[in-house]
Every structure is written in structure tokens, then in C-alpha cells.
Amino acid sequence: MKTIESGTNDQIGLLSDLIDRTTDLNELIKCHKNRCLIHYAENRYKDALHDIDVLRRYGHKDESLIMIKGVCNIHFHVGEVRNSLLKALNVESNSSRRLVKKVKRLN
């Protein structure tokens, strides 16, 4: 997993602050969508899915978000399966054994 740059964290923080302070629906939708795209680009799939769910509750429909939601769901659930396999094999997730490397390639 790649490290999130501080600039990205700043962008996410700024968007979160705007979301907390904004009452205009169009501005909320814009902020959630931008934050979702940043989360997706940074492989933070659970966070991206949260923003997509909020946008759905606002009634916002966007074809690009439907595709992103599908990709996020795949990555999120593959990660869960990988972690379950590692746990079932009683292997530490940070172990450098060949088996772990092969299983981690699933994600």
C-alpha cells in the first residue's frame, strides 16, 4: 500500500471541513465527490465507498462513481478475503515468507 502524501491529507481535511460547514446541497455534493476521488486515488476504498453512499443518499447519480464503487467494492472485499486467508493460515500479515507474498498478490 502506498503512503498518503501530506498534501493529500491536507486536501481531505479541507474537504471534510467544508462538508462540516456547508449547508448548500450542491456544494456538499461537490465536496463529497472530490473527497471520494481523492480517497479512490489513494486506495482508501472504504472511505471512497462512504462518500459514494452519502452522495447516493443526496440523490446524486454519476456514472463515473458507479464504476468507482464497483472497483472499490472489489478491492475492499479482496482485501478482506486476503486477511481471512492469512488469519486462517496463522501467518503474520507483515511476514516475509513466500506464501504471504503470494497471498498478498491477490490484492
What range defines the domain where residue 91 resides? 6-104
Residue 80 located in a structural domain: yes
Residue 85 located in a structural domain: yes
| Alpha carbon separation from 54 to 3, 46, 79, 86, 107 (Å, rounded) | 26, 13, 23, 32, 26
pLDDT given for residue 53 in this prediction: 97
Residue 11 located in a structural domain: yes
Task: Evaluate whether 78 touches 40 at the Cβ level (below 8 Å).
Answer: no
Q: How far apart are CA 83 and CA 14, in angstroms?
A: 32
pLDDT given for residue 37 in this prediction: 96
Residue 1 located in a structural domain: no
What are the residue ranges in the chain where pLDDT is below 70? 1-6, 91-104, 106-107
Q: How far apart are CA 89 and CA 73, in angstroms?
A: 24
Q: Which residues have CB under 8 Å from 40's CB, separation 6+?
A: 48, 68, 71, 72
pLDDT given for residue 21 in this prediction: 96
> How many domains, the chain?
1
Residue 78 located in a structural domain: yes
- The pTM assigned to this predicted structure is 0.74
Residue 90 located in a structural domain: yes
